[in-house]
Every structure is written in C-alpha cells, then in structure tokens.
A and B are shown apart, each in its own frame.
Chain A
C-alpha cells in the first residue's frame, strides 16, 4: 500500500471529481420529484457551489500528478485514441455543463422546465464522466485492471458519494425535508442502494479476482493479501455512507448525517482508490 501513495494526486482526483459529479445526479432526482419554492431553489443553487468545488479540487489534484503541467492542454490531441484524453475531455464537457447550469441557475435565468432539462443533461454527463474515469485504466497490458468492473465501481462511487453530497446540498438549503415528503424519499433510497451495491460488489470482485493473476515480478495473491484489510475498511465506509445518506433523507439530523455521509464517502472511495493502485499487475514486467 505504501507504493500506492505515489499515486496520491490520482487517487484524490478519482475520488473527488466523480463524487462531486454524482451530486448533480442527486440534484436532478430532487428537481424531478419535488416542486421547490423559489426561495428554496435560490438556496439550493447557492449551495450547489459545494459539489462544483469538490470537482474542481479533484481536477487541481490531478495536475500534481503531471511532471509538466504546462503541457496539459496537449492532452486533447489524443481524443479518440487515448483513454486518458477521452476521460479528460468528457470531464471537461461535464464541468463546463455543470458550471453553465450553476451560473444560469444562480442568475435566475432557468425556467422550471429548462432547469429540469439542464439538470438531467448535467446528471447524465456526470455518470458518463465517472464511467470514462474508470475506462482510463482498462487496458489489456494491465491484467488486474482490464475489467468492466473498473468503470462499474467508479459509477458506484460517483452515485454513493454524489447522493451523500447532494443530500448535504439540499439539507444546507433547508430543502431536504420538503423533498423527502414526496417521491424523492424512495428515489434517493433506490439510487443510494444501487450506488453502494455497484461500488462495493464491483470493487471487491475486481480486487479479489487479482489473486488469480501473476507475472514474473509479483503474485496477485500476495498483492491481495497486503490490501485485504483495506478492502474491508473501504467497503464498511461506503456502506456506512449509504446508511447515513438514507437516514438524512428520512429526516434524522439531515445536515449532520449528510455531512457525515459525505465524509465517509470521501474516506471510503479514497481508500478504495489506493487499493486499486496497489494491485496494479502488468501482463509483463511492471508492478506497482
């Protein structure tokens, strides 16, 4: 696991950016299931800055991974061929849509219909971004990462963390109680459960699968035994985050529990990401 700390900037990026993006899924769910007052919408829009800041913090962290950040604009040259370029361009499209949505919403330029439509587009872009974040690691020369379980777990992380953060935005805006009186309560429960199941099952299945692999430098079974306790910690944190989100939506100390859910999600996803980097096992001569 110590070696995985070399990937700290990437672990932070892949924790924060998909989680912040996922909050827009929660907001879209709330907007589609609840009729908020103008005053509530104003407060929701103000606190929507929070997930945007989380996404931006992720992108800023990613720059610390680069040996030459000044060449960063050149990553767009590989669109279509490089999975990393694809991830970054999808991330930038999501970020641009989210920022434009937020600016228009704060400026009061979105009618009810336009707000719902725009929020749905941003939510879809968020999930596509989470999926592409996982796809960036899927390549046939790294046997331990070459699996559809990788983008699946990233979507799970995005939904789990995003629902926690989205619930926090609604709670801070004083709108979570009203939302929970309607269908949002069940929708939120469904999305949280789906997110936690996708995250934990895909993550654990992928990591345990590494134990059957090996190359000339390392055995997958050794790598997995080194990270086994961290796999358990990440899973418990993710489940605890989901439970805290559901309780917050059900009206139990909304601000405190959605804050706790967000912190638990950040911690759980971050540990899971470090585990992921720690089990990098090439088909050839490379090991983390």
Chain B
C-alpha cells in the first residue's frame, strides 16, 4: 500500500479559506457541511505592566485541515458496519454509502472533526482525499485552489519530509490516531494538545 498524506505549511497560510470554499463548491456542499475547515487558533492576554507599558502575549494562527486519513483511524475502528474504511491501495479513509447506517459513531470518535452524518443522504460524509481526482492524476481541489501554496498532497514518504506529523494546537496529540497530516508550524504555533491554544471560530468549524 502507498499511504497518501496532506501537508500544511503554517508559515504560508493566510487564513483566506479558499481551500475550504473550493471544496464546498466542488462537492456542492450546503451550509451545514464542509470537508475542509480552517481553524483560527488564538490565545494570550494584553495587559498594562507596573511602569505603564502595554505588554501582550496574544497570538493567532490558522490551521487548514480536512480528514487526516489516519494510520489508526478512530472512525474506522468504531464503525459498526464497516462502511467507514481505509482503502487498501492508497490508505485514504472513505464512506461506503451502501453500508453506512448513519449512526454518527464515526463523528463522535474522530478527534479531528472530520466525518459528519448527512441525514438527507442517509450516511456519513467526509473528505475522501478527492479519490476520483487522484485516480485521474490530479491533486485534491483544496490543494489546487490554495493561493499561497500552503497545502500539498502526496505519498507519506514525500509529505513527511516537509514537516512534522500533526504536531500543533488545536490538534490533539498525534498518538491517538497517527494522522497523515504533516505540518510546518508558523512561528507562533503551540504544540499539539497545548492548553492555551483555543479555537476562536467554533461556530464556523463545528
């Protein structure tokens, strides 16, 4: 098997969300669904010190993320029907709509907020790494759309040379599911699981 992976360059991302909307447009997703999300991670305080100077520890940075097609995907492990599965050839995780019962167990278990049940369609939906585009030799639409070239997609051997595995907040420690997301952190990025890195745009991404 050749495992495929995403790469995210935090030093290039401007938080423009073109990736998010290119995906929504390509897959014709309504307002309730988005397969790629841009998380605004921020924290810190601004205070006046004893000699009257204003000091700040405030920071903000962006993380663009879809499904990470993990090595140990929590969604696949809990799926009761086998609908959520990892492709034997590419390692990409996707939903077999003919098997999915729409129980939402994958949604509960995934620590990356990737799968979600579409009750109208009657099954879970999520990023499949643009498997069809990949089959025709093209890269995922989010990667193609990024104006800052902050995203990339390729074999895990290629992507792992560019960054560290899922290692910044607001992501959890990568040891839970071994995500195939490799990251070059921005200067302000906090380590994965760090208490101070909070999501500033929860209504947009949840």
Contacts and interface: CB of A to CB of B under 8 A. Distances in A.
A190 interface: no
Interface stretch (B6-14, B45-53, B104-112): B104-112
Contact of B113 (A71, A81, A82, A284): A284
B112 A285 contact: yes
Interface stretch (B28-36, B131-139, B144-152, B171-179): B171-179
A111 to B, nearest CB: 39
Contacts of A142: 108-109
Contacts of B83: 71, 74
Contacts of B99: 71, 74, 77
Contact of B77 (A65, A81, A283, A286): A81
B199 A217 contact: yes
Contacts of A66: 101-103
B129 interface: no
B111 A214 contact: no
A239 interface: no
A71 B109 contact: no
Interface string B177-206: 100000000000000010101110010011
| Interface size range on A against B | 20 to 34
A60 interface: no
A43 B80 CA distance: 40
Contacts of A222: none
A284 B119 contact: no
A22 B104 CA distance: 27
A248 interface: no
Given A142-B108, A284-B176, A71 B78 contact: no
B80 A84 contact: yes
A148 interface: no
Interface in A1-34: none
A280 interface: yes
A107 interface: no
| Interface size range on B against A | 35 or more
Contacts of B122: 67-68
Nearest to B171: A284
Contacts of B173: 283
Nearest to A82: B80
A75 B197 contact: no
A287 B203 CA distance: 12
A75 B101 contact: yes
B69 to A, nearest CB: 15
A69 B82 contact: no
A72 B109 contact: no
B118 interface: yes
Nearest to B173: A283
B102 A67 contact: yes
A78 B100 CA distance: 12
Nearest to B190: A216
A283 B172 contact: yes
Contact of B195 (A141, A214, A287): A214
Interface of B: 39, 41, 74, 77-83, 98-105, 107-113, 117-119, 121-123, 169-173, 176-177, 193, 195, 197-199, 202, 205-206
Given A67-B117, A285-B39, A286-B110, 11 more contacts: A67-B104, A72-B101, A74-B83, A75-B103, A82-B78, A82-B80, A141-B110, A217-B206, A282-B111, A284-B171, A285-B199
* Those 6 A-B pairs whose CB atoms lie nearest each other, nearest first: A67-B102, A284-B111, A216-B170, A284-B172, A68-B122, A74-B81
29 contacts: A65-B104, A67-B103, A68-B122, A71-B83, A71-B98, A71-B99, A71-B100, A72-B101, A75-B101, A75-B103, A77-B99, A78-B80, A88-B80, A139-B74, A214-B195, A215-B172, A216-B169, A216-B170, A217-B198, A217-B199, A282-B172, A283-B172, A283-B176, A284-B113, A284-B171, A285-B39, A285-B111, A285-B113, A285-B199
